[in-house]
Structures are given as C-alpha cells and as structure tokens.
Structure 1
Amino acid sequence: MTNPYAVVAITKHGVAIARRLLDALLQVDVFYPSKFAQGDEREFGIHVFEGSVVQYVPKLFQSYQGIIGIVSLGAMVRMIAPLLKDKKTDPAVLVIDDRANYVVSVLSGHLGGANDLTKQVAGVLGAIPVITTASDVGETLAVDLLGREFGFEIENFAKVTQVSAAVVNEQRVHIIQEAGERNWWKYKKPLPSHLQVFETFESARKQLFDAALVITPRLLTQEEEDTFLANGVLYRPKVVVIGIGCNKGTSALEIEQVIQTTLAEAELSMMSVRNLATIDLKKDEPGLVEVCARHGWRLDTYTAAELNTIPIPNPSDTVYKYVGAYGVSEPCARLSSGASEWVVEKVKSGNVTISICLVNA
C-alpha cells in the first residue's frame, strides 16, 4: 500500500477505466488480472494478480482507506460481507459499472468518506454519482460528520443512529453549542426549521425537543446528561489550549497526570484539548513531546520576548532568571489560543505548571 485507495478491475473494459483513474487521481493503487497486462504495469506501479479477485479483497479491505471496485454491486457486496465490522472502522467502498456510467457509494459513506469519493470519481469519469445516504440526499445535517472538518469528536457514538433518524425524519432537534466553530452548516439553503441552535442549556430547555446535539468542552452535570443525552449526541470541539512549563527531565506520566487532574478540576474534557504550548527552550523536552505524540496534540512554542508581551497576574523573577520570561504557562496559553482571559490562570503541581485558555473565549 502506497496510497489510500485501491482501484480493482476484473474485465477488459474495467482495466481501461482503472487506468483512467490512475491518470486522473494521485492517490490510488491499481490492481487487475495479469491476463489484461499491457506491458507497462511496472512503469506505472500497477499491480497485476493471478486467479480470482476474491482472494485479494480481504487484504485490500484491511490495508486501504477505500476500495474502488469496477465490478457489479452484487459481486462487491458478496466479497465484503464477511469482512464488515462497524461504520467507525470499515473502509470506504464504491463500485463502478463496466461502462463507467455510474459510480455507486456502497459502504462507509460518511465516516469512511465513500460519498465524497464517489462524487470525485464520478467527476473524473463523467459518470453519475449514486448516493443513497438520507442526509446527503435531503441536504440536511449529517450527525456523524458534524464539525468533523474542525476536529469535533463524538463522545457517545452509540446514539448517532437514532439521533440521525430524528434529523432526517424532521423531528424537533436542539443543537446546543457552547464553544467551537459555528460555520458547520455546509449547504446554501437555510438551516431547516426543525433544527434549532441554542447557545445555552437554559435557553434550550424552554422548548420541547425530540433529540439533541450538544457541542461543548465542558463536563456535563448528571442532570444535563439525563435531559439532553438520553436521545442526544455529545461532541467535543477542539478549543482547550494548555500552556505548560516543566522542569528538565519531567516524565510524560507526571505531565499527563497533572493535565488530567487540572482539566477535571476545571470541568473540561480531555477530548477537547487542541494543543499544548510552551517556551521554545522546551520544544524538544522528551516528556512534552511524548505526551503530545500520545494524544495527537501539536506543541506550539514561543520565544521569551513573545511571552513577555503578555501581561500576566503571577510574574516570577525566578522564572525570568532561568528562561528570560516572567512566566511560561500563562502567556503561552493566551498566545496560542488568542483568548483574552484564562479559564485556569496557573496551577503548579510537582515539576509541572499549567494554565488553560479556551479558543475564541
């Protein structure tokens, strides 16, 4: 596997279509039977195989983000049926007919990206894209994709299917958004009237609803969970920025424990952390680098001069003596988040100092 998508053909016409896709798309590996080899497969990195395609599909299913099969829909369904696990892990699967008239999204239309890939491939071939996902057909909100381009993460995935049904069946759905990017509605038409957006739980309570979408970095109270998540989906936007300072050699375990404890005390979710920020002298600190790698967080760094441009409530002459800045965690959190205030000004625990800000706060 050198690219995210595999194109598989089994007929002479299918091979011609596969080669068209190889020319037009930069992210595909092409596979077809050796009996249709044209002699230039090695030059173009095309894979040829012997025997039936059925024996190769399981490996492709496990290795690629998506499979583009130039086969019948029925044949593809039979091949992938024993391999299916769940919508969070199954790859995108689509099929193209032998004359490239239609491109059909078969599996993982949303999370796997099959619907978008179907549109892209159909555009290349001049074919008709066939997409049957209700939210796409009806141009309405896709519950499993809300805010995905901004990094929103779903905390309670088990509720997605039933809340999606409420959306497409035009039941009353409340969207309570306390933080995060607001431009998640992707269609040119107005938001449907059965979807109502609220900035607070208090305002959302005043109207009856059948389902809820909650977007917040905050840990909910039990009462809020009972009320809004009984038939609701909870999204964690990436809005928490942690300014951090630590002594040389501080372990990743200690850093992580201080982060977890401080976030819990501030009633904020670990899933909403966007990044850590520190002074440039600490950019290669092993413990910080390991924690960021473990959680997929980026590490923003700033010079002492940059840090000293931010007025802080707890300046330290001792810190200035060693690093040239009057503080590290506090100004780092402000600079990285763009916030004007701190959610947590400064917490020192052992070898670690932490400050927290919210993006756009």
Structure 2
Amino acid sequence: MALTGPGTKMAESVQASLPESRVLVPEKYGTNGDDTFAKGQFTSAFSAAFRTFDCLVCIMATGIVVRKVGPLMQDKTVDPAVIVMDEQANHVISLLSGHVGHANALTRQIAELLDSEAVITTATDTEHVQAIDTLAQRYNGWYPEFKYNTKLFNSRLVEGSPLMLYVDPDFRGIVKQFNGLEVVDEIDQQHPEIPLIVISDKDNIEKRQNSLQIVPQVNVLGVGSRKDVTYKMMQDAFTEFCTQQHLVWRSICKVVSIQKKAHENAIHYLADCLGVPTEFYSAEQLQSTASHYDQSPFVKKTVGVGNVANSAAEFGAGNRTINERFSADQVTMAVSKLTLKKDD
C-alpha cells in the first residue's frame, strides 16, 4: 500500500519481486493491474486489506499506519503481518505480528531484495535466540496455552536462563540453529529445575516438571471403512489406533480416503472432531500407492483398490505409511508423515 506517486513506484517495485502480492494505491496513481481506492477512502481500504491479506507492506509514515492499525488489532494469533517502509526503501520495519504472522522474516526478505536496512525490535530476534513460537512454526507445531507459554519460554530465552530442548529422532535435522537452547539427545531427569521443550508427535514421552511439548501437525490419517459405520465405531477405532501407534491426536493434519467413501458421515465426523480437513482420491489415483501394501481382494473388488487406508495416507502425504495395517470395528487406519522443509 502507498499514498504518493513515489510510494506507488516503490510499491510496484516490491510487487515485481513478490509475484503473489498486489498493489493498492490511490486512483490517481494507479496503473494497469493496480488495485485502487478513491479519494477519502483510504481508511476503509486499509481496514478491508487488514481483514483480507496475510501481510500489509505500508509505504508511508509509521504514524499513519499506527493510527490505522490500532482500532483493528484483535490478537497476535489472527492479526496479519504489518510492515512499514519509507518511499526510498532506506528502512523496512516489522511493526506487527513479527513471529506468528511472519513479519520479521518478510521484513528481512524485502530488505534483502531492496538492499535496505531491516528494523526488527522483537526481543528474541535482537538477542539472537530461537523464539519458541518461531521454532514451533518450523515444525508446523501446536502447543497448549499458546500466548502464556510463548511469553513464559521466550522470556527465559531473552534473559539467558537455562532451557533444554529434546527433538524426537523423527524430526531431527529439520532445524539446525537452536540459539539459546541446550539440545539434549535424551530427556535428562537429573536437572528437573531446568525447563524442557520437547518436539514430538508421540504420547509416550517421559513426563517431567516445567516441560512443554510442541506437537508437529504433520500426520496424514488414511481411513477405510465398511458402509455406514457409526460415529462411535470410528471414534473408538481412532482412539485404539493412536494408543497403538503412541500418537498425539493433535498431530493429525488431515483425514484422507477414497472417493467412494466421501459420503461416509463417520469419516467427516472424525475430521470435524480433530478440526482438520478431509481429502478423497479416486481409485485411479490410489493405484500408484496401493501396490506398496498387502491388499484385500474383497476390498479391491468393492472400491477399486485393495488397501484404502495405507494407499490414501501415502498418496496424501507423499511418503510411505508408518504402520502396515490397522483394523478395528470395521475401520482401517494408517498414518504417513508429511516432509518438512529443512534449513539450508
């Protein structure tokens, strides 16, 4: 967003480097492809953009942005990133939602593109320590009482207080920098007074005081079932499956199955309970993965592939499943992990 002619030129320059972005400027400065707002409509245009976009890059005075953002802010978990920069791109300032909204990372990216100075005032960034909420994002992680625990653990990091980190072997090698954290290979009970962060999707992690488990939400749950299984049968099967696999239910990121099961209410019920989306694939799509697992001739004759749960989980995640076959209450289930991007 910009308000002046020079600001509009800078906005278009930024947009050229960030293809997924759009330019919003006054009508008199707009060119083909720019979104515009009429004279006197800046406030309403800003409000609409704040509610619509993931990030606002405001090429204007910081004071203007502060006055516009103030009445719109709700919570750090839902507010968009807001970045301010001057018309000459001398400084790029991370103003709002530095970690959760990725404003800090985007500020650095834009500053690098424009050879500008990035201005970031978040304490964990200025102290060069690994913020807990940023760390969780790298693993697509969830943890309880987000705001309370974020403040608690990040404060310890900023103060330089001891803080240990244990990463489940399944997730090692993804993040390489853990500034401010003492990484341990095993959960050490000898120092219970030192808070511990655990990154794992397992429910059998050894418990201790002052610990926080970050649960990577990376598990794709493949589901197959007989016709018209009940909600209870689906729920009981899922509970048994998680117990058998030692999975935290929060680690499920989506529920998948074959297209012929898209009408099964129990599958949608399970996804709704977990708060995750569903995806359904055709038998033709699943042919490429079904051959990796034992198949039932009866199931293959009925729906077109002989192993719905495993083949759907692998197709949905792009990786082989962690279990061969699970069946209970006329329901089959399997899990495959998404591949997380590793640090360069």
TM-score band by shorter chain is 0.7 to 0.9
- SS of 1:68's equivalent in the other structure is strand
Equivalents in 2 of 1:25, 1:317: separation in Å? 51
Question: Which residue identity does 1:15 align to in structure 2?
Answer: T
Q: 1:200 to 1:56 in 2, by over 3 A?
A: same
Q: Deviations over 1:42-78 (max 9, x none)?
A: x223313212633433222212111111222222222
Residue by residue over 1:252-273, the C-alpha shift from the partner in whole angstroms, topping out at 9 and shown as x without a partner, is x467524543356445322112
Task: Tell me which moved more, 100-109 or 206-215.
Answer: 206-215
Residue 320 of structure 2 is matched in structure 1 by 338
| 1:126 counterpart (89, 112, 115) | 115
Letter in 1 for 2:14: L
Q: 1:64 aligns with which of 47, 50, 53?
A: 53
Whether 1:177 aligns to 2:167 is yes
Report how far residue 286 of structure 1 moved. Answer: 5.0
Among residues 175, 182, 186, which one is paired with 1:196 in the alignment?
182
- Given residue 216 of structure 1, which amino acid in structure 2 is its aligned partner? S
Q: Counterpart in 1 of 2:342?
A: none
Q: 1:212 aligns with which of 196, 211, 230?
A: 196
Q: Percent identity at matched positions?
A: 24
Partner deviation per Cα, 1:230-254 (whole Å, 9 max, x = no partner): xxx3211235454432124557x46
Give the C-alpha shift of residue 111 in structure 1. 0.9
Aligned equivalent of 1:163: 153
SS in 1 for 2:327: strand
- Give the alignment of 1:137-152 within 5 angstroms: 137-152=126-141
Report the CA distance shift for 1:12/1:356 in structure 2 as closer, same or farther (over 3 A).
closer
TM-score by length of structure 2 reads 0.77
Q: Give RMSD over aligned pairs.
A: 3.7
Q: AA paired with 1:163?
A: F
Residues 304 and 66 (structure 1), Cα distance of their counterparts in 2 relative to 1, 3 Å cut: closer
Aligned length: 330
Tell me the secondary structure at the aligned position of residue 105 of structure 1.
strand
The within-5 A match list for 1:1-361 is: 7=1, 9-34=2-27, 37-38=28-29, 41=31, 43-51=32-40, 53-157=42-146, 158-178=148-168, 180-187=170-177, 191-192=178-179, 195-201=181-187, 204-219=188-203, 224=207, 227-229=209-211, 233-238=212-217, 240-250=219-229, 253=231, 257-258=235-236, 260-263=238-241, 265-266=243-244, 267-276=246-255, 278=257, 282=260, 284=262, 286-287=264-265, 288=267, 295-296=276-277, 303=286, 307=290, 309-310=292-293, 319=299, 322=302, 328-329=308-309, 338=320, 346-349=326-329, 351-355=330-334
Measure how far apart 1:199 and its partner are: 4.4
- Deviant stretches of 4+, over 6 Å: 330-336, 357-360
Q: 3-state DSSP class of the match of 1:227?
A: coil
After superposition, give the CA deviation of every residue in 1:216-243 in whole Å (9 maximum; x if it has no partner).
Answer: 223368x92x6133xxx32112354544
- Do the aligned partners of residues 132 and 299 (structure 1) sit closer, same or farther apart at CA in structure 2, a change above 3 Å counting? farther
Larger Rg: 1
For residues 321 and 261 of structure 1, what CA distance do their matches in structure 2 show? 29
Q: Which runs of 5+ in 2 are unaligned?
A: 340-344
* Corresponding letter in the other structure for 1:212: L
